[in-house]
């Protein structure tokens, strides 16, 4: 393990290969509406096609994976495990910390995003870390970790192929499992060819080989590896990581220092709980029985061990999580980030992950974002769904997403975050429609107006009241000619 930066071989990535990472707090959530962000993705037909194809494919793989199994019983078992773990989170977290520290892991607690950034940046400064390889971590997206580290002079290499592309493009991941779901192969080809300085063959293998070559060099020269974590096993104090590309294992075991940034809700009580959760995570994530790699990071290298990091740090990320404990929205913490709800969501299918404005898209994003970022900033997202319930039916841990979304809408109402015109409209509506006589009069007026506006049983007029309906649709009020 004494390779130096000069003698490791491989081709280093050219300087300036990646666009600068996003600045913290530069999430679009604060500056644009869901409608505006959705329009951006919808204006890119290739992106829409790519999202639809990829999510349909993933959903079909998940369905196929569990054919002939007692899927519902497994989901119910998983729900119970997650509910128990979260209901007793402080205890299990304490236990996890004890066990992890016993194994020599240094445990840090970040109560919010800026604290997480500060802690990791401090570790990098203290340990003179200037080059980091990073395996995929949504928690790091929450805290905008990359820009924080760039600010203290650290070069970061995202090593998950999708995240590598995201970083090189200066983009954001569009899906929790498949970060470049919204991109096409042609876009990656163009990007990699530009990075290589010559035209690469437009084939998946050649493109992958290009990234692999550059990343190999990064792995061998990195001072530290930063990962997320899929589960924290309280019983053993370990961090469990699933990947398919092997980058997670290299990140956590090759560099001399491993730093894991993990949400506190990822705790599972016992190792044997993995027998239930792991097949559900991989089956709902990618349709696999099990991922190619399941890595267990169990502290730094012990005496006599030939490999592994010399230091292991775990930064436990709260950032809004503990505030949900014991409340109406606690079940949102049951999420294991498999992405299955995104794959079946008919809204996500049209607009992709970026429309949700922060880190998580789809139904779980519409729940977590208002909970983590606040109602003021993100309350709108709970309305960006048709409440179709497809997410409830697919969630491997049976999170009642439909109920949580409805609960968030109610909270907007209770907290007075509803636009004035909407409040007035519903108040007026209730005044009229709670009285049968007025109701009859109002519906007679509505019918009469529609009849007046209709041509051949169809209203397509852009009257002010119907404007948002008739922009793209007619209102069919009569029997149409056959």
- State the residues that interact with another protein by CB under 8 A: 34-35, 38-39, 42, 48, 52, 346-347, 349-351, 382-390, 392-393, 406, 408-413, 418, 422-423, 426-427, 429-430, 433-436, 439, 443, 446-447, 450, 458, 460, 468-469, 471-480, 482
Distance between CA atoms of 143 and 146, rounded to whole angstroms?
9
Task: Decide whether 272 or 410 has the Cβ nearer to another protein.
Answer: 410
Residue 192 contacts residue 210 (beta carbons within 8 Å): yes
Least distance (Å) between residue 285 CB and another protein: 21
Query: What residues are paired with 158 via a beta bridge?
Result: 134
Least spacing, CB of residue 369 vs another protein, in Å:
16
Minimum gap (Å) between residue 455 Cβ and another protein: 11
CB of 446 to another protein, least distance (A): 5
The residues, any chain, with a CB within 8 Å of residue 343's CB and separated by 6 or more, are 55, 56, 58, 59, 62, 394
Output the smallest distance, CB 58 to another protein, in A: 15
Nearer residue to another protein within complex by CB, 122 or 443? 443
Tokens of residue 54, six digits? 């990829």
Kindly tell me which of 198 and 479 has the beta carbon lying closer to another protein: 479
Alpha-carbon span 464 to 343, nearest angstrom: 36
- Kindly tell me which of 102 and 455 has the beta carbon lying closer to another protein: 455
Q: Which is nearer to another protein, 205 or 427 (CB)?
A: 427
Q: Of 38 and 317, which has the nearer Cβ to another protein?
A: 38
* Residue number, 199 or 376, with CB nearest to another protein: 376
User: Smallest distance, Å, CB 355 to another protein?
Assistant: 8
Q: Rounded to the nearest whole angstrom, what is the least distance from the CB of residue 63 to another protein in the complex?
A: 12
- Write down the least CB distance from residue 408 to another protein, Å: 8
Which residues sit opposite 232 in a β-bridge?
Answer: 239, 267
CA distance 472 to 350: 16
Distance (Å, whole) CA 232 – CA 474: 53
Instruction: Determine the Cα–Cα distance for residues 26 and 384; give it in Å rounded to an integer.
Output: 21
Which is nearer to another protein, 37 or 301 (by Cβ)? Answer: 37
Which residue's CB is nearer to another protein, number 19 or number 410? 410
Q: Rounded to whole angstroms, what are the CA distances from 44 to 26, 190, 302?
A: 22, 17, 52
Nearest approach in angstroms of CB 338 to another protein is 20
Q: What is the closest distance, in whole angstroms, from the C-beta atom of residue 439 to another protein in the complex?
A: 4
Return the number of the residue (209 or 414) whose C-beta is nearest another protein.
Answer: 414
Q: 443 phi and psi, to 5 degrees?
A: -70, -30
């Amino acid at each position: 393990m004494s390779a130096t930066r000069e003698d490791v071989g491989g081709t280093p990535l050219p300087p300036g290969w990646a666009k600068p990472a996003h600045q913290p707090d530069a999430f679009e959530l604060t500056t644009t509406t869901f409608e505006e962000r959705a329009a951006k993705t919808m204006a890119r037909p290739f992106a829409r096609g790519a999202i639809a194809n990829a999510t349909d494919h993933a959903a079909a793989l998940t369905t196929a994976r569990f054919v002939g199994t007692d899927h519902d019983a497994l989901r119910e078992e998983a729900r119970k495990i997650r509910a128990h773990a979260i209901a007793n989170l402080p205890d299990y977290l304490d236990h996890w910390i004890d066990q992890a520290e016993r194994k020599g892991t240094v445990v840090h607690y970040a109560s919010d995003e800026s604290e997480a950034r500060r802690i990791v940046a401090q570790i990098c400064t203290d340990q003179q870390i200037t080059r980091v390889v990073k395996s995929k971590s949504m928690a790091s997206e929450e805290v905008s970790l990359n820009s924080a580290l760039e600010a203290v002079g650290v070069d970061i290499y995202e090593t998950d192929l999708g995240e590598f592309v995201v970083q090189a493009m200066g983009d954001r991941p569009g899906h929790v499992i498949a970060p470049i779901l919204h991109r096409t192969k042609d876009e990656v080809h163009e990007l990699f060819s530009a990075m290589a300085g010559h035209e690469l063959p437009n084939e998946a293998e050649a493109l992958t080989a290009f990234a692999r070559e550059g990343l190999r060099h990064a792995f061998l020269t990195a001072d530290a590896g930063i990962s997320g974590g899929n589960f924290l096993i309280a019983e053993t104090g370990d961090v469990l990581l699933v990947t398919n590309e092997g980058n997670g294992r290299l990140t956590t075991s090759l560099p001399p220092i491993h730093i894991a940034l993990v949400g506190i809700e990822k705790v599972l009580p016992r190792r044997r709980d993995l027998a239930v959760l792991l097949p559900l995570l991989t089956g709902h994530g990618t349709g696999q029985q099990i991922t190619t790699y399941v890595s267990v990071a169990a502290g730094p290298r012990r005496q006599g061990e030939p490999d592994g990091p010399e230091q292991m740090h775990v930064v436990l990320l709260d950032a809004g999580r503990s505030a949900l404990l014991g409340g109406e929205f606690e079940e949102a913490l049951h999420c294991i980030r498999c992405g299955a709800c995104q794959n079946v969501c008919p809204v996500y299918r049209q607009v992709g992950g970026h429309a949700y404005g922060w880190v998580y898209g789809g139904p779980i994003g519409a729940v977590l974002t208002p909970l983590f970022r606040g109602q003021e900033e993100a309350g709108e997202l709970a309305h960006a769904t048709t409440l179709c319930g497809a997410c409830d039916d697919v969630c491997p841990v049976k999170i009642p997403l439909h109920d949580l979304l409805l609960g968030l809408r109610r909270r907007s109402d209770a907290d007075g975050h509803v636009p004035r015109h909407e409040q007035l409209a519903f108040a007026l509506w209730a005044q009229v429609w709670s009285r049968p006589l007025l109701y009859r009069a109002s519906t007679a007026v509505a019918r009469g107006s529609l009849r007046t506006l209709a041509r051949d049983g169809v209203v397509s007029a852009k009257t002010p009241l119907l404007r948002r309906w008739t922009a793209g649709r007619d209102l069919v009020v009569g029997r149409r000619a056959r």
